[in-house]
Chain A
């Protein structure tokens, strides 16, 4: 298992492009959850995307240019917290490979060592204690494949949900299976992707949950999009936003 540092005074926050465009409230909630523990959050304003879309689509040069830019923007030796298992996985596990034969190889490796997914940071570094102030609710959890198999932070996320006393977490039957997003996979193989997300929405429905929670906005966008398309009334929500809502009993962090 990973060795975690002591609680730091400052952290960097890498918001991710999908959070920036589609789920900014979730990004903001993540920041507030860290600030709440007395840690200063620094958000380098010129940050954009981790580079994963191009990296997975056959365009490594383009991915490297964008990745190099991000590495430059986070120069200090602070932990970099990322509210996404997939983007964190890219930066932690794939940057060293992406820069393997590059003059910036060592910088990329050092950068990757600073990366933490939000849940693991909240649990292992900040040791957060959550007081649930919301009404009783039944929810389910969907893990992104990269949170599960690269960052291995799924248990941390579920631990956070379970620590909320009025929240009843019902696990999916097929929790470890991909929702079919896969970035450009959803565009390049739309029919296979659709078959996968259909099974995921069915699995979510059979839990009888009012909401499904995930730590990754790609999955959220995919599953919620499919549910809206099929007129299924179950909301998807990012874990950070859900937690912020529960501990403040307010619906918004923005």
Chain B
């Protein structure tokens, strides 16, 4: 596993909260995504049924994951797709590089792939003298501006039209400034079209890989994915090992859930099903197809029965769109490939608690994510699990870096909390002393964080326990 440096989350958060343009862009865009989803999933009972099915299908696939992966490899190999296994992102990067080098290739066009973000593939290839060009419009925009995706499915959603106009004008040579959307799209199209013809290799992600047929399923709306997977002579597909499903018939409900949750679409403009390279006599398609299957910590997540559900994720991004925290800090503040609720549970499990455990504190446990998750991942419970393991010295803990956060102050605080709430007499007497003396809670320590934005909580003169006694309520 490639471990990254600990992110300064607090600093990221305060910068994001002060960036009014960013927050305005994010909120407006998320509002649109949320309402589109609501329109497509307007029938509550039907949606619930569909989500239950999605959950069952992904659980079924995970229940026989090793077997399905073997079957996938076997079928792909039979179909002429070459399968590579990568335990780490570094291995996966080198596999891409090797394939490129074996063809003497220096130019790569990429369709959208979060796994490639996880691998930091672009930077790696650049260091090795290879141009990797993002062809998804959103990815294209942020690549021009040297940024990372701010959202799993709409990577440049934090930018508005004016900002994009400026980026195009400044970063694409000989581009006059324009705010006209049609003109902007035409500029991107013209720039990319040439690159599709020139590139020797095309790269894509995988939304679902079907074990029974060895089919790679890829959804997209711009056609760039189809270009990347058909125009260049070589196609490399990247997938996390959790993307495998058992049967072809599992796809329709999962696709419906994915596109409905992600963009509020019944179906995307393009649905690509890739099963073989170009066959003899065929006029188009790549002559060679490679599938790289990445682990990067996933098999460790798989090994823990409670954490395993993390791998059900189909990367629709709807938990981000519905998250009140994501809506206020955007994607970059999280500091890792996967932002939002799914990022809060995925990054700490992949990167270790010490590096990314802090993300789990950024949740009010409002359950909005769990309510919309198309495959019913219990995100709040997993956030609690990460919080537990952050303090746990228990050898049964399975997360890397467990117990990293353990400290005397919090241990003592919760010990005292436990005692006062187990021995109510201490609780009652303590409370009485505070209220009789008119002592409000002090403005120090954790309360300082409260009173910076809110009035100090005041204790009532008489507790409910006292009122109940006074009114003669039964206590049996």
Contacts and interface: CB of A to CB of B under 8 A. Distances in A.
Interface of A: 13, 15, 17, 19-25, 27-28, 31, 40-49, 51, 53-60, 62, 65-66, 69, 76, 97, 145-146, 149-150, 176-178, 180-183, 185-198, 221-222, 224-226, 228-229, 254
Contacts of B405: 58
Given A69-B422, A186-B450, A145 B364 contact: yes
Nearest to B362: A189
A197 B325 CA distance: 12
A150 B446 CA distance: 28
Nearest to A12: B476
Contact of B424 (A28, A46, A97): A46
Contacts of A55: 384
Contacts of B414: 54, 57, 59, 62
Contacts of A69: 421-422
Interface stretch (B165-173, B277-285, B296-304, B459-467): B459-467
B371 A149 contact: yes
**Counting chain B CB atoms within 10 Å of each CB, which of A58, A65, A228 scores highest?**
A58
A226 B417 CA distance: 26
- How many chain B residues sit at the interface, stated as a range, is 35 or more
A239 B410 CA distance: 34
B384 A194 contact: no
Given A45-B468, A49-B421, A58-B387, A149 B476 contact: no
Given A24-B466, A25-B460, A54-B417, A191 B450 contact: no
Given A24-B460, A192-B13, A185 B363 contact: yes
B329 interface: yes
A23 B459 CA distance: 8
B362 A192 contact: yes
A56 B315 CA distance: 26
Given A22-B458, A189-B362, 17 more contacts: A21-B459, A24-B463, A42-B474, A45-B424, A45-B465, A145-B368, A149-B367, A176-B368, A178-B368, A180-B364, A186-B364, A190-B450, A190-B452, A222-B454, A225-B455, A228-B455, A229-B455
A76 B474 CA distance: 14
Per DSSP, chain B at the interface is helix
B427 interface: yes
A196 B362 CA distance: 12
A239 to B, nearest CB: 16
B1 interface: no
Secondary structure dominating the interface of A = helix
Contacts of B361: 185, 188-189
Contacts of B418: 54, 62, 65-66
A53 B418 CA distance: 10
18 contacts: A24-B463, A31-B471, A31-B473, A42-B476, A43-B468, A44-B475, A58-B384, A58-B388, A59-B388, A59-B410, A97-B381, A149-B367, A182-B364, A185-B362, A185-B363, A192-B13, A195-B328, A226-B454
Contacts of B28: none
A98 to B, nearest CB: 10
Contacts of A27: 464, 467-468
Nearest to A45: B475
B17 A31 contact: no
A107 B468 CA distance: 27
A207 B471 CA distance: 37
B417 A191 contact: no
B231 to A, nearest CB: 44
B387 A221 contact: no
- Those 9 A-B pairs whose CB atoms lie nearest each other, nearest first: A182-B364, A225-B454, A228-B455, A58-B387, A178-B366, A190-B449, A145-B366, A194-B453, A24-B464
